[in-house]
Structure 1
């Protein structure tokens, strides 16, 4: 039997930058309809820099990707762990590693498998928490998980946003202030959950990473230095400053008693709305011009909230982009 060749863990020559990627993708190696070759082509067409192979309960596809990557696409090894009471993504697993899925909430076994992934240097993501089918609804507490998938594209028939995503975002948003206060908050991410042609990258996560490598991308996701895009047509920049200090998404701004000046630059959302969210909910919103491009500024004091995050929506309320928070202190 020939030795399997696994994809490289780093793309050479790609330094610190914002990288676009989809970390929930299925192929013919589980219940998807596309081959790895077709998925790689789809990822490139969607403007992605990386993807994660996350077949259901198997590592069979790990050795199928090496021939389809080059100097423009990183493939991160992983698995979708489909337990009886919720699914989760194990990202950054070892080549050939399979994480057990044969348990449910009452078995009290999920923690040991989260630890298994963490020991391998990987990331654990609560997947599609409000998926509308048996076993898909996430019943575990988020404790022990690193990230929450608040935006999943699979179950939206025409656009990658629906009521299940709205519920997942609201649940994550409600706990954010308390988690930040405790010093341990879980970033949000978005993925396509691709099974069919034309799904990959809708939506995806945009990550600030030190290089285009599995380790650096996962570190960026883990720290919350990321935002979620409906597609590559949407661009977002979000920073806060106070005096000579500034911070970006997932970072901490030491503002002291000074108010934070927040600026958002958006492209690709015609006549959309930029909403600023704090621990008090949506605190301010501004409309974008018909061109879909614009800059929005706002001021907030640290006494008003411990964080600020951004949602960009289309005129009909559909999500176009959302960010992880900037922490205010």
Structure 2
């Protein structure tokens, strides 16, 4: 196994902020057509701050990433673990580390390999749960996984391999209330699954991290302090305020029985719609202006809504932005 000298250089001097990144890309070291250098160039053009390299079942590309980037773009080493009954992303691996993929749901082995990722302080993500090919349909329970890739590639596509993002979002959304109640809940992610030029960053995940490091980004994803964007042109801010307290995406707001003001600021989605979703389903919907920049407010309380998440769709109904929830509670939050 390569030593730590094979770790790609990280971004420097980048403190607490929102960072954009794509954590599902393939190079010519597996079934992609691009070199690591070309992927880095594409990430920069797409306005990204970090990239997760996830070639299928191999770490062969890891040394190449050392020479592919500089300190302006963070590269997180990983793997797409392509099992017989579902694919998943192992992010934050040690240089040269490979997670075994030679099993299926009936073998009862996936938990062992999730533990291997977690021992490396990495993150495990259920990938494209509703992909339309046999091994791509995710058959494992989500328990033990840290996040779910609910948005894979363009929201809609006629390509025969395109994942059903609407189905993945609906499945994740239905489980969210119960997961939040019993904890821990699994945040949503969005990635491009890049194989060809021009795909990178469509979509990508925007993460609030204390610093632009692998540990910082993975901690932000794990905590759900993130939202998904169709492109860097889309901007989103989502907050909840009650009793002088404010919480953001992935956070808890202890608002008691007071009214909670939800505020969404959107840019880059002309003539689209914003919808607020709770355990009751779609709770409120508002249209966006033709300029694409708009503020939408809605009021609820913790008795009516245990959580609120936001969807932003464009004028043709395609997803443009999707947030993880803000959790509303009348009591002290449980330990995570």
Q: Which runs of 4+ in 1 moved over 4 A?
A: 2-5
Distance 1:167 1:309 in 2: 17
Equivalent residues in 2 for 1:231-250, closer than 5 Å: 231-250=231-250
Query: What does 1:163-242 correspond to in 2, within 5 Å?
Result: 164-242=164-242
What do you get for the CA RMSD once the two structures are aligned? 1.6
| DSSP 3-state at the match of 1:96 | coil
Given that 1:7 and 1:69 are in contact with CA atoms closer than 8 Å, whether structure 2 keeps it comes out as: no
Residue in structure 1 matched with residue 311 of structure 2 by the alignment: 311
User: Distance in 2 between the 1:6 and 1:298 partners?
Assistant: 49
TM-fit CA distance, 1:66 = 1.4
1:18-37 matches, within 5 Å, as 18-37=18-37
Alignment of 1:326 onto 2:318? no
In structure 2, how many angstroms separate the alpha carbons of the residues matched to 1:317 and 1:310?
Answer: 14
Cα distance change on mapping 1:106 and 1:155 into 2, 3 Å: farther
- Counterpart in 1 of 2:96? 96
Look up the match of 2:73.
73
Residues 287-322 of structure 1, C-alpha deviation per residue, up to 9 Å, x if partnerless?
A: 000001100011011111110000000122100000
1:63 aligns with 2:55: no
Checking the alignment, whether the CA contact within 8 Å between 2:154 and 2:203 is kept in structure 1 is no
Indicate the residue corresponding to 2:86 in structure 1: 86
2:89 and 2:70 map into 1 onto residues whose CA distance is: 25
Distance 1:239 1:158, change over 3 A: farther
Corresponding position of 1:272 = 272
The structure-2 alpha-carbon separation of the partners of 1:284 and 1:168, relative to structure 1 and needing over 3 Å to count, comes to same
- Cα deviation for residue 4 of structure 1 reads 8.8
What does residue 113 of structure 1 align with? 113
1:194-241 deviations in Å (ceiling 9; x for gaps): 000000000000000000000000000000000000000100000000
Are the equivalent residues in 1 in contact too, given 2:224–2:249 (CA < 8 A)? yes
Q: How many residues align?
A: 326
Q: Could you say what secondary structure the match of 2:198 adopts?
A: coil
CA distance in structure 2 between the aligned counterparts of 1:144 and 1:256, rounded to whole angstroms: 31
Contact 2:242 2:259 in 1 (8 A): yes
Q: Which runs of 5+ in 1 are unaligned?
A: none
Whether the aligned pair in 2 keeps the contact of 1:154 and 1:193 (CA below 8 Å) is no
- Structure 2 residue ranges without an equivalent (≥5): 330-336
Partner of 2:292: 292
Query: Following the alignment from structure 2 to structure 1, what is the Cα–Cα distance between the partners of residues 154 and 287?
Result: 29
